[in-house]
Structure 1
Amino acid sequence: MKIDELPNGILSKDSKTDHFETRRSDNQELTFIQAEGIFEKSQIRMDDELKRSMGIINDEGDFTNLGLLISDQNCYSITAAFIQGGSSLICKFREEFTGSILKQCYALYDYIDQFNRTRSEIEGLYRHDFRDYPLEAIREALMNAVVHRDYAFNGSTLIKIFEDRIEFLTFGGLPIGLTSSDLKFGISVPRNLRLLDVFRRLNLADSVGIGFKKIERCYQGERTQPSVDVTENVFMLTLPNLNLDREHPQIHSESYVRETEDLSEIERSIAEFIGSKYEVSRKELETSFGLSQSRAVRTLNGLIDKGLIHSRGNGKNTVYVSKSKKW
């Protein structure tokens, strides 16, 4: 999915979760030892006055769900796993991170960094180091997964580290009335405004919705690009391993030749046309190639069956995207 800027958060479809942050926490026995230490590093004193201004304590003096997320007793965890090989069949390492959501972020960043190798090239007297994954891209992907998830779900946010990519899976689908094609316009619909404010105070997040722009910039000019997949309840951001592409650039071109060598002329033309676009509707293909509706449908279904494209949306909002789509 080519995206200039994805929404910095998504409103929940369930009205019961719309005010999650401001609701009174079921657990009122909260402590903030971990969070206070993190605020102290930013030279911010986390006293009751600050807790009230941030919304950790409500007007009645009770702790809110925002307070629960920031507290040592936070019940929402993040699980990170290192998957050996290119498939998800062998989980070599797995760790669950608990405690304050702030502490989880710092610990997760360090955990991911263990698997972020450095590739070095020598050019004359100079050495150039290249990380598998740009550090800024990891930071932004992690912040997005934490700040903008739907905390109405009790499951753990999941980060899968493969040899060729990192997948950030978090709960939260698209806002009602929006389709995937709307994302390219840079819509910013924060789900957890108060949590976002906490991260802004610690200089961990931006307030103007430029996180995905930063990720896009990290991969500018690269052969492989980040991708986004959205279902009704899950948002997944994938960061590709840049060093793997630099070491084995022929993998991509050889794979494309194998995948397309059995295509008909019209299938190949449409596959290349879709690959050159952000996304394509059936109507656009019919107009561009002079196809009837039935032939366009047959051709698109054939390309889907061959794994070269996939569809997003339903009914008249259905669009088609290349499996090798870049932003």
Structure 2
Amino acid sequence: MEKEVIAFLNYLEGELIYIGIDKHGKILGVGDIDGDMLKIKDRIKNNIAPSAMGLFDVVAEERDGKNIIKIIIAGGSEKPYFKKKYGMTEKGCFIRVGTAAEPMIQKIIDDLFAKRVRNSLSKIRSNRQELTFEQLKIFYQERGTPLNKNFPINLELLTENKKLNYVAYLMADENGNSIKLAKYSGNNRVDLIENQEYGYCSIIKATNNILNRLEVENTTRTKITPKERISKRLWNPVALREAVLNAIIHNDYTTEAPPKFEIFDDRIEITSIGGLPNGLSQEDFFEGYSIQRNKGIMRIYKDLELVEQLGSGVPRILDAYDKDCFKFSDNFLRITFPKSISGAISGAISGAIESLTERQVEILELIKENNKIAYREVAQRLEINNSAVQAHFNTLKEKGIIKRIGGTRGYWEVLKR
């Protein structure tokens, strides 16, 4: 399996590998889905160099009633990738040729090594070495995976000389990075009415602050007709979240310029620094292929479940908006979402839902956005207390609109839409 993974890491676009399907496409399934997924992750993590962390996902799928495993691989920026056992040799390096993983000839290995990106964030030494990471520890603790004393090594926050790198600097409690959010009156940048900075702290905390701030801006409007209640957000919440995370994770921080967020009367603009990574075309971008500019950042965001599968962000955006919302240049990528004027993102809500309050409709939208959402997060996003949230949830359950599946570690199922 490592051979195929290495071939795709060395490939321009990355690719998918399925476990539990034979070469003829017949679904065989796998027996111990959880155990096999863990073994695959360990083999990729421990047997391949440079580190592939942040460049792959291992997820379970069900087809024809059988469990299979899908390995999602992004093309890496530190080519050539190789089996640690054999090093950068023809026995250790592989490349994709047609549908096969073939040994890489030594000349290609040497050329790729010579071109390897040497200014990646993980290789840049932080100017400040006296850094603390209490905020990062809290985020990992909340996910049930507390960091131990070896976390700088485990999270690849050190350079080859064992000094804290620039990823560590961005994750630290205090740094010089600040993400700006501006709000204007009108449709241009003439009348600035709000200029907020979210930063000088862990980029994870800044990300959550930005998401929470935009959640407040992304209000729900409700229209009641004789036949239905229609609710809509100013922007599709899933697409907006993906755009925010993409801008922050894939920003070119070597320029020391953070992404920015601008709200106008008719739109929101999200701008990240740096064009498409070398070797990634616009067509590849829209197809969901991914070359990670900042794999160290991506790895931590995946750990904290801020992002899901590799390459899923752009397709999620395109589910709600056209390709025209993206603007590319050599130096930046801008996403523009127009404000919704009519129609409902979630569709018509009828029947028992007609009797809901506007607050309960907002809670229902949050559940649809994230069916594992906790009372505490709902309370924070709607700025109401926990007891009020629980009362609203009880009402939704009593009306048969939602149902809890799986207890405390389960999820909410929406029964009526």
Alignment of 1:169 with 2:271, yes or no, is yes
- Whether contact under 8 Å (1:10, 1:172) holds in the other structure is no
- Whether contact under 8 Å (1:9, 1:191) holds in the other structure is no
- Residue 33 of structure 1 aligns with an amino acid whose one-letter code is E
1:40: which partner in 2? Answer: 141
Identity %: 26
Cα RMSD after superposing both structures: 2.8
Q: CA distance change for structure 1 residues 17 and 94 in 2, over 3 Å: closer, same or farther?
A: farther
1:270: which partner in 2? Answer: none
Secondary structure of 1:191's aligned partner: coil
- Whether contact under 8 Å (2:280, 2:291) holds in the other structure is no
Alignment of 1:151 with 2:249, yes or no, is no
- Whether contact under 8 Å (2:182, 2:194) holds in the other structure is yes
Following superposition, the deviation at residue 54 of structure 1 comes to 1.0
Moved over 6 A (4+): 8-12, 14-17
1:83: which partner in 2? Answer: 184
- Whether contact under 8 Å (1:84, 1:91) holds in the other structure is yes
Secondary structure of 2:253's aligned partner: coil
- Whether contact under 8 Å (1:216, 1:226) holds in the other structure is no
Following superposition, the deviation at residue 48 of structure 1 comes to 2.5
Following superposition, the deviation at residue 21 of structure 1 comes to 2.2
Following superposition, the deviation at residue 126 of structure 1 comes to 5.1
Following superposition, the deviation at residue 180 of structure 1 comes to 3.6
Secondary structure of 1:218's aligned partner: coil
- Whether contact under 8 Å (1:66, 1:195) holds in the other structure is yes
Number of residue pairs aligned between Structure 1 and Structure 2: 234
Distance 2:184 2:215 in 1: 15
Distance 1:113 1:9 in 2: 33
Following superposition, the deviation at residue 47 of structure 1 comes to 2.4
2:325: which partner in 1? Answer: 227
- Given candidates 71, 74, 78, the residue that maps to 2:175 is 74
- Whether contact under 8 Å (1:79, 1:158) holds in the other structure is yes
- Given candidates 71, 89, 106, the residue that maps to 2:208 is 106
Alignment of 1:132 with 2:132, yes or no, is no
- Whether contact under 8 Å (1:10, 1:173) holds in the other structure is no
Distance 1:245 1:18 in 2: 47
Alignment of 1:119 with 2:221, yes or no, is yes
Distance 1:51 1:139 in 2: 28
- Under a length normalisation based on structure 2, what TM-score does the superposition of the two structures give? 0.51
Alignment of 1:204 with 2:302, yes or no, is no
Secondary structure of 1:155's aligned partner: coil
- Under a length normalisation based on structure 1, what TM-score does the superposition of the two structures give? 0.64
By relative contact order (CA 8 Å, sep 6+), the higher-ranking structure is 1
Q: CA distance change for structure 1 residues 77 and 197 in 2, over 3 Å: closer, same or farther?
A: same
Report matched runs for 1:245-260 at 5 Å: 245-246=342-343
Distance 1:32 1:115 in 2: 30
- Given candidates 3, 7, 22, the residue that maps to 2:123 is 22
Alignment of 1:241 with 2:339, yes or no, is yes
Q: CA distance change for structure 1 residues 93 and 15 in 2, over 3 Å: closer, same or farther?
A: farther
Note the residue ranges of structure 1 that are not aligned, 5 or more in a row.
Answer: 1-7, 248-327
- Whether contact under 8 Å (1:97, 1:104) holds in the other structure is yes
Distance 1:79 1:11 in 2: 28
- Whether contact under 8 Å (2:243, 2:270) holds in the other structure is yes
Distance 1:17 1:246 in 2: 49
1:321: which partner in 2? Answer: none
State the Cα deviation string for residues 128-177 of structure 1 (Å, max 9, x = none).
Answer: 32111122112111110111011111223211111221111111113345
Following superposition, the deviation at residue 10 of structure 1 comes to 10
State the Cα deviation string for residues 249-295 of structure 1 (Å, max 9, x = none).
Answer: xxxxxxxxxxxxxxxxxxxxxxxxxxxxxxxxxxxxxxxxxxxxxxx
Secondary structure of 1:62's aligned partner: coil
Distance 1:60 1:239 in 2: 44
- Given candidates 243, 246, 249, the residue that maps to 1:141 is 243
Q: CA distance change for structure 1 residues 226 and 33 in 2, over 3 Å: closer, same or farther?
A: farther
Secondary structure of 1:197's aligned partner: helix
2:165: which partner in 1? Answer: 64
Bigger CA drift: 199-208 or 17-26?
17-26
